[in-house]
Copies of this chain bind each other. A is one copy, B any other.
Amino acid sequence: MQTPWEYRYAHRMQNMKSSVIRELLKLTEQPDIISFGGGLPAPEVFPLKQFQEACNYVLENFGPQSLQYSTTEGYRPLREMIARHTARYSVEVTADNILITSGSQQALDFIGRLFLNRGDYIVVESPTYLGALQAWNSYGAQYIPVRADEDGMVVDELEAALRIGPKFIYVLPNFQNPSGSTLSLERRKKLVELADKYGVPIVEDDPYGQLRYEGEHIPSVVSLDSEYRGPNGGHYSGNVIYLSTFSKLLAPGLRLAWVIAPPEVIRKLVMTKQAADLHTASFNQYVAYEVAKGGFLDEHVKTIRATYKERRDVMIEMMEEVFPAGMRWSHPKGGMFLWGIMPNEMDAAEVLKRAVEKKVAFVPGEAFHATGGGKNTMRLNFSYSSPDTIREGIARLGETLKELMVERV
């Protein structure tokens, strides 16, 4: 007889939904569709030559080690390099503060596994990163959304949320996915103070921090927390768990990211990773270290910034030209995403259907809202498509919006 699998699945699977974005990407995989839906880096900026040199160097000099099982914590020279990089941004850390993960998504999953009992609350921005919601839904998380504007989470509204007793606060302070907003310095400081006052940890997710196209660098939340606590004797032991990644600076296909946290949290995450996948691919860690160790990424990031800045500017210029009155959009100072806001009564899912007929796609914003809402919003990616493609895609989207607005009248 056939096995009735659906009755064997664990209860947690009832909360699991396939990512709206990934499903949408399948829909828009027809080659003639211009998709602003994904969150892909521009493949033109991948440093292929440096990669190839690094692969050859690693195999010639560290062949057997780079292909063997290795430690769960991650390749030590890579962790030490990340520690030095972090120190440049005023956070004193050692390799014991660092775990290498298979992408930031894995770090989000591990944080869920380490902290969340069914029903636990998490404070999130509204909107927030969909991948985090996906990771934490399977642990039965509940969410307390705090309103965000162009300066990020409205921290004045955070205190009420903290009195609910959440497990942690989740923020993406730089060029947030999806909205593109950046948390102001003043709000970052207030966030650190409030989190300390209520004894609630902060998870700071920072994939795009290096991708700033205008304005001054703002210190990370972990560095402000470190400063707030004063000298710590060499390693970080504060209240923030910080995530970043090589996906946007180097290449996402390597699946390499890192977590910075107090050593005792890292030790627990290491146990979690041991049971989950033993360790991140050794070869990838050796190669990334070889590519990055001489400071190459410092130069390379300038190329990425120049490329993405142009694309952002082209997208915004074109929107100004073709989008109908009533449409608003964010002006992100970095990152990969721009946030579109339609008149309240419009539904982005409906707009998408019509847009796909015109061969252009985006992600409706509702999925980024942990507890619903945002039906009139959309996320647009500007890093992946060439300037010409962006012009053409925004023209098509403008046309779609105009038609639908006329029909509504």
Contact = CB atoms under 8 A, between A and B. Distances in A.
Contacts of A176: none
Contact of A117 (B11, B105, B282): B11
Contacts of A43: 64-65, 67-68
B116 A271 contact: no
Interface in A298-329: none
Contacts of A46: 63-64, 67-68
Interface residues of A, number: 90
B271 A12 contact: no
Contacts of A68: 40-41, 43, 46, 251-253
A69 B199 contact: no
A149 interface: no
A201 B59 CA distance: 42
A51 to B, nearest CB: 6
A109 interface: yes
A406 interface: no
9 contacts: A16-B268, A22-B72, A52-B56, A66-B253, A68-B251, A102-B277, A106-B277, A113-B138, A138-B272
Given A9-B114, A10-B113, A22 B253 contact: no
A94 interface: no
B277 A255 contact: yes
Interface of A: 1-6, 8-13, 16-19, 22, 38-41, 43-44, 46, 48, 51-52, 55-56, 59-60, 63-70, 72, 101-103, 105-106, 109, 113-117, 120, 131, 134-135, 137-139, 167-168, 196, 199, 201, 237-239, 247, 251-255, 262, 264-265, 268, 270-272, 274-284
A40 to B, nearest CB: 6
A112 to B, nearest CB: 8
Nearest to A7: B199
Nearest to A239: B3
Contacts of A251: 67-68, 283
Given A40-B69, A59-B55, A271 B196 contact: no
Nearest to A2: B237
Contact of A275 (B109, B167, B237): B109
Contacts of A270: 18
Given A48-B63, A255-B281, 14 more contacts: A8-B115, A10-B117, A13-B114, A13-B268, A39-B69, A40-B68, A46-B68, A51-B59, A51-B63, A56-B56, A68-B252, A103-B277, A255-B278, A276-B276
Contact of A199 (B3, B114, B135, B137): B3
Contacts of A131: 275, 278
A278 B138 CA distance: 15
A270 B19 CA distance: 11
Given A1-B199, A64-B43, A68-B40, A271 B102 contact: no
Q: Which of A113, A196, A201 is the most central at the interface, judged by chain B CB atoms within 10 Å of its CB?
A: A113
A224 to B, nearest CB: 15
B254 A67 contact: yes
Nearest to A276: B109
Contact of A252 (B69, B72, B201): B69
